Amino acid sequence: MNIFINGRLLLALVLACYSAFSWAGLVTTIAKIKPSIVAVGSYHPTGSPRSVFSGTGFVVGDGSLVVTNYHVVPSDLNPTKREQLVIFVGKGSQPKVYDAKVIASDRVHDLAVLKIEGIKLTPLRLGNDKAIQEGQSIAFTGYPIGAVLGLYAATHTGIISAITPIATPQISSAQLTPQMLKQLRKPYQVFQLDATAYPGNSGSPVYNTDTGQVIGVINKVFIQGSREAAITNPSGISYAIPIRYVKALLK
């Protein structure tokens, strides 16, 4: 009996130590990730408000490139009114604003690469998503509620709950939209996450909690709209685009 009790205590102690070690590692990883997280939006010199938040992005490459979702990039900017695509850098209610331009885009995978003017930031390392397995621990950092209270990057954790095609066949052909038909002809796999992302998280990096290497990009609108178009009340499941498509775009 004493051996059994001691064995249970030892197991509990080992699990507690492992849990503490894991969280300590995540704390360190988040501290390294945050300086590379930026907000994407637009600046209107004569508008009210002047700054408009669209989504999250993260720095890669030489420190002057930002990856985000294509749908996050404002599409209705008026150059005659000096409306400009910008990147917001910093924390709180008065972040620094830098002009940006789109230098590459991939509408199929809903990705865009932006070039920042006037500053270089700390880039994130891109990992290998081909080795990803279901059940693997992940985290993502971004701006889930935008800039309502200022820019304060938040981190969510979870696991890869499934690796699944972006579009799934419906029960009847009447439920298929033209976009879903196009995706079914040439489907690609995405990561389904057991973690809650919000619209402002679109463009956030999904990374390995131990190494900080980016394995995917949160997509809250494009993918969810494709997979859950036939659901009356969307489940709120989160998805991420594998980083391999970012690497291809950067080339």
Residue 243 scores a pLDDT above 50: yes
Asked if 220 and 174 touch (Cβ cutoff 8 Å), the reply is: no
Tens digits of residue pLDDT in 191-202: 999 998 888 999
225 CB burial (10 A radius; 0-12, 13-18, 19+):
middle
Cis-peptide, bond into residue 165, ω within 30° of zero: no
Neighbouring CB atoms inside 10 A of 199's CB total 15
Asked if 157 and 137 touch (Cβ cutoff 8 Å), the reply is: yes
Tens digits of residue pLDDT in 22-33: 557 899 999 999
**For range 166-185, the mean pLDDT:** 55
Give the span between the Cα atoms of 85 and 96, in whole angstroms: 14
The dihedral formed by the CA atoms of 116, 33, 223 and 105, expressed in degrees to the nearest 10: 20
* pTM of model > 0.85: no
Helix ranges (H only) for 72-141 are none
Q: Cβ neighbours of residue 67 under 8 Å, at least 6 residues apart? A: 57, 58, 60, 111, 112, 113, 114, 203, 205, 217, 246
Give the span between the Cα atoms of 132 and 121, in whole angstroms: 28
Average pLDDT, the chain: 83
Terminal Cα distance for the chain, rounded: 63
The better pLDDT of the pair 179, 96 is held by 96
Tens digits of residue pLDDT in 34-64: 999 999 999 988 777 888 999 999 999 999 9
Looking at residue 169, what is its pLDDT?
44
Asked if 204 and 183 touch (Cβ cutoff 8 Å), the reply is: no
Looking at residue 13, what is its pLDDT?
56
